[in-house]
């Protein structure tokens, strides 16, 4: 009897393993969802739709972008973490969810990168720009730093909100140069950029896509970008390091993630497909139109970048005494 039961268990285990392997080999055989923590039309949503359309063409299955905005990204990210680990629910997130939130909401964040997700690949990244009114008194970052040193905490800096990556980038620049700016939060990137152009604030930290209308109109000058690497959008823009903030290097990025437990062959397949998509000329052009460059780095490399940036921003949050609202 024991021999019969043992043999039956072995057969069942083999059958389950075979079915599991077959499911991986057949992946995908139904539509894939990509959850996005923002409303349609934004930086992350656009990345999801560009990649999703190409994935659908390459894999022969519909890829549906599902927007779940709100809660500082917690709603969509938590839903993705709790989804079945079968590769049919993915997450397109950005630096806010996996770099900024753990630094700002350390005690209350309901998800964890290493515990809950596979980082598949970096999809795109772009610098932020430090812009000032074109006919204003500040022509260089050194001008701003001198004014802030003369009157600490009075030189206003616009951002899309308290605890945003723009806010942290501005604080990092201030700390690096030994000055304190006056943070002036707005409800979104576009209003923050308009505030620079009208002189409502002396300068601000904005995504390239948010600031570009004001830059093209000649109302805002770029004094520095936040990455150590020059941007192809305009190679004449100085990096923050070149402008005097010696250790600053921070980008806004979008990335693709899968729930922890998704079989490695599926993760590998998704990485290979998305990395190939990101090298397509039309895809590069679409990201470049928004001021970004395509990614494609391997999962381990992407994970390392996220951890490095997270550690950097935790120190900035502590040093600048940034509190969540």
Say yes or no to pLDDT of 55 above 50. Answer: yes
pLDDT digits (tens, 9 = 90+) for 218-244: 999 999 999 999 999 999 999 999 999
Say yes or no to pLDDT of 215 above 90. Answer: yes
Say yes or no to pLDDT of 21 above 90. Answer: no
Is 77 within the bounds of a domain?
yes
pLDDT band at 15 (very low <50, low <70, confident <90, very high): very low
Q: Which residues neighbour 10 within 8 Å (Cβ) at sequence distance 6 or greater?
A: none
Is 25 within the bounds of a domain?
no
Is 121 within the bounds of a domain?
yes
E strands, 192-241, are: 203-207, 220-225
Q: How many CA atoms lie within 13 A of 57 on its CB side?
A: 9
Separation of CA 92 from chain center: 9
Output the domain CATH number for residue 287. Answer: 3.40.190.150
SS (H, E, C) 66-114: EECCCHHHHHHHHHHHCCCCCCCEEEEEEHHHHHHHHHHCCCCCCCCHH
Q: Are residues 146 and 208 in the same domain?
A: yes
Alpha-carbon distances, residue 200 vs 21, 160, 191, 225 (angstroms): 60, 14, 11, 21
Q: Are residues 270 and 291 in the same domain?
A: yes
- At 20 the pLDDT is 47
Q: Are residues 141 and 279 in the same domain?
A: no
pLDDT band at 13 (very low <50, low <70, confident <90, very high): very low
Report the pLDDT averaged over residues 204-212. 93
Separation of CA 237 from chain center: 22
Is 216 within the bounds of a domain?
yes
Total domains, the chain: 2
- At 258 the pLDDT is 98
- At 9 the pLDDT is 47
Is 76 within the bounds of a domain?
yes
Is 12 within the bounds of a domain?
no
177 vs 148: CA distance, rounded Å: 10
Q: Are residues 55 and 154 in the same domain?
A: no
Output the domain CATH number for residue 150. Answer: 3.40.190.10
273 vs 109: CA distance, rounded Å: 31
- At 63 the pLDDT is 98
pLDDT digits (tens, 9 = 90+) for 239-284: 999 999 999 999 999 999 999 999 999 999 999 999 999 999 999 9
End position of a domain, from candidates 243, 263, 287: 243
pTM exceeds cut of 0.85: yes
Report the pLDDT averaged over residues 78-96. 97
Q: Are residues 172 and 276 in the same domain?
A: no
End position of a domain, from candidates 243, 261, 279: 243
Is 1 within the bounds of a domain?
no
- At 3 the pLDDT is 52
- At 107 the pLDDT is 78
Q: Are residues 222 and 298 in the same domain?
A: no
Q: Are residues 69 and 93 in the same domain?
A: yes
Is 144 within the bounds of a domain?
yes
pLDDT band at 16 (very low <50, low <70, confident <90, very high): very low
Q: Are residues 118 and 72 in the same domain?
A: yes
Q: Are residues 88 and 157 in the same domain?
A: no
**Would you call 131 helix, strand, or coil by DSSP?**
strand
Q: Are residues 147 and 229 in the same domain?
A: yes
Average pLDDT over the chain, rounded to an integer:
92
pLDDT digits (tens, 9 = 90+) for 135-169: 999 999 999 999 999 999 999 999 999 999 999 99
- At 129 the pLDDT is 97
- At 25 the pLDDT is 76
Q: Are residues 255 and 273 in the same domain?
A: yes
Say yes or no to pLDDT of 113 above 60. Answer: yes
CB 147 within 8 A of CB 138: yes
Of all residues in the chain, the percent with pLDDT exceeding 70 is 93
Q: Are residues 315 and 266 in the same domain?
A: yes
End position of a domain, from candidates 223, 243, 263: 243
Nearest CA among 128, 135, 179, 178 for reference residue 158: 128
Q: Are strands 89-94 and 251-259 parallel, antiparallel or unpaired?
A: antiparallel
What domain range includes position 161? 127-243
């Amino acid at each position: 009897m024991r021999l019969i039961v043992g043999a039956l268990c072995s057969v069942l285990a083999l059958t389950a393993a075979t079915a599991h392997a077959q499911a991986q080999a057949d992946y995908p055989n139904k539509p894939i969802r990509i959850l996005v923590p923002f409303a349609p039309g934004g930086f992350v949503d656009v990345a999801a739709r560009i990649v999703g359309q190409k994935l659908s063409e390459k894999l022969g299955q519909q890829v549906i972008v599902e927007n779940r905005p709100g809660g500082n990204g917690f709603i969509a990210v938590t839903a993705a973490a709790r989804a079945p680990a079968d590769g049919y629910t993915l997450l397109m997130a950005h630096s806010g969810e996996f770099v900024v939130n753990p630094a700002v909401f350390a005690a209350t964040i309901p998800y964890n990168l290493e515990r809950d997700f596979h980082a598949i690949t970096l999809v795109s990244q772009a610098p932020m720009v430090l812009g000032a009114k074109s006919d204003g008194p500040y022509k260089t970052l050194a001008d701003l730093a001198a004014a802030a040193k003369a009157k600490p905490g009075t030189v206003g800096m616009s951002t899309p909100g308290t605890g945003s990556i723009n806010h942290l980038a501005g604080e990092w620049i201030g700390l690096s140069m030994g000055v304190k700016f006056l943070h002036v939060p707005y409800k979104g990137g576009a209003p923050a950029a308009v505030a620079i152009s009208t002189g409502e604030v002396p300068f601000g930290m904005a995504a390239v896509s948010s600031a570009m209308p004001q830059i093209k109109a000649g109302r805002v000058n770029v004094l520095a970008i936040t990455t150590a690497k020059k941007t192809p959008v305009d190679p004449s823009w100085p990096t923050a390091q070149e402008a005097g903030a010696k250790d600053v290097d921070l980008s806004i990025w979008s990335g693709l993630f899968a729930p922890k437990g998704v079989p490695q062959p599926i993760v590998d397949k998704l990485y290979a497909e998305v990395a190939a998509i990101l090298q397509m000329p039309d895809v590069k052009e679409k990201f470049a139109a928004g001021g970004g460059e395509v990614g494609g780095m391997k999962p381990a490399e992407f994970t390392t970048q996220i951890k490095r940036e997270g550690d950097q921003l935790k120190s900035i949050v502590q040093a600048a005494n940034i509190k969540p609202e």
